[in-house]
Amino acid sequence: MLAYSTYRDPDVWRWHPHPEVWVLVLSLIGLYVYAVRKIGPKVVPAGQPVITTRQKWAFVGAITLLELAADWPMHDIGEEYLFSVHMCQHLILTLVMAPLFLIATPRWLADLILGAGRTRRVVRWFVAPVAAGVIYNSMVLFTHWPPVVNNAVRYGGLHFGLHILVVLCALAMWTPICGPIEEWRISLPAQMVYLFMMSVIPTMPGAWLTFATHPVYSVYNTPFRAFNVGVIDDQQMAGLIMKLGGGSYFWIIITAMFFTWAARHESAQKAGRKVTERDVLTWQKVEQEFADHPAPPEPTKQS
């Protein structure tokens, strides 16, 4: 069955303006610059930098990736023609852009945004490792459900809302790894286990797309094929990008973390320092990390 519309502009590269994306990007830049130049100097103790060079370049990278993924041509090709490009768009937003935004956020700015009341407590619940992991993986499965994908392409408002949901879930997932509030992060050994768990669930829809022998998303099953890529080939590429690309990305980070942890361990031994439990990867330590950062309690039913 063909998608809701069989029409596709044969000029795949025709430029389309996205003023909503420009407004979002310029607003984020303006707010960040204002916070750093006007608010930061008032709240940061004298002699300390308002932001570091690492944070500045992380923000530049995050904004660049947001513009790349949300604007022409990636957005248009991914939404109108190829689901594999749409998959690349989501991976950029969730696996690269989201952690860069967290790295770019200084602690004083995070404290200012969250405050010290209910908002902070609610956010703390949602970024706890177990809750964040469940939320993120549920989002991955939900956003690859055929009715969701088909309707997101048909209705621009739903598509925009889903992108907000995807980014928020990704921010929650990455907070225990590189969030601006240090005490909300888990130890390096626990981070490796946590990211391994994050790499497992996405392989399910990835494998499903790779081995499906029929068009999974009717909205992409159209007569006009961009770059002569067939609908089955397109969704197989999308599955491989998700399964191999996303999984490999997590494993590269895990490998880097392992060598960092090993170097710290070796350095501590050479210096004659006692290696603490935080330095050693044990299952007891991982269990303790998750016990210290429990998931939000389930709401009680009203009688």
Residue 197 CB burial class (10 angstroms; 0-12, 13-18, ≥19): middle
| Distance of alpha carbon 268 from alpha carbon 275, whole angstroms | 6
Examine residue 137 and state whether it is found in any structural domain, yes or no.
yes
Q: What is the DSSP letter of 215?
A: -
Inter-residue contact 219 to 155 (CB < 8 Å): no
Examine residue 64 and state whether it is found in any structural domain, yes or no.
yes
Inter-residue contact 154 to 220 (CB < 8 Å): no
| Distance of alpha carbon 142 from alpha carbon 205, whole angstroms | 10
Examine the pLDDT at 292 and tell me if it is beyond 70: no
| 128-179 tens-digit pLDDT | 999 999 999 999 999 999 999 999 988 888 888 999 999 999 999 999 999 9
Examine residue 302 and state whether it is found in any structural domain, yes or no.
no
Q: Look up residue 62 and give its amino acid.
A: A
Inter-residue contact 197 to 134 (CB < 8 Å): no
The whole domain housing 195 covers 19-292
Examine residue 182 and state whether it is found in any structural domain, yes or no.
yes
| Distance of alpha carbon 269 from alpha carbon 90, whole angstroms | 42
| 184-230 tens-digit pLDDT | 999 999 999 999 999 998 888 999 999 999 999 999 998 889 999 99
Examine residue 7 and state whether it is found in any structural domain, yes or no.
no
Residue 225 CB burial class (10 angstroms; 0-12, 13-18, ≥19): middle
Examine residue 277 and state whether it is found in any structural domain, yes or no.
yes
At how many degrees (to 10) do helices 156-178 and 146-154 cross?
A: 120
| 82-124 tens-digit pLDDT | 999 999 999 999 999 999 999 999 999 999 999 999 999 999 9
Examine residue 205 and state whether it is found in any structural domain, yes or no.
yes
Examine residue 10 and state whether it is found in any structural domain, yes or no.
no
Structurally, the chain folds into a number of domains equal to 1
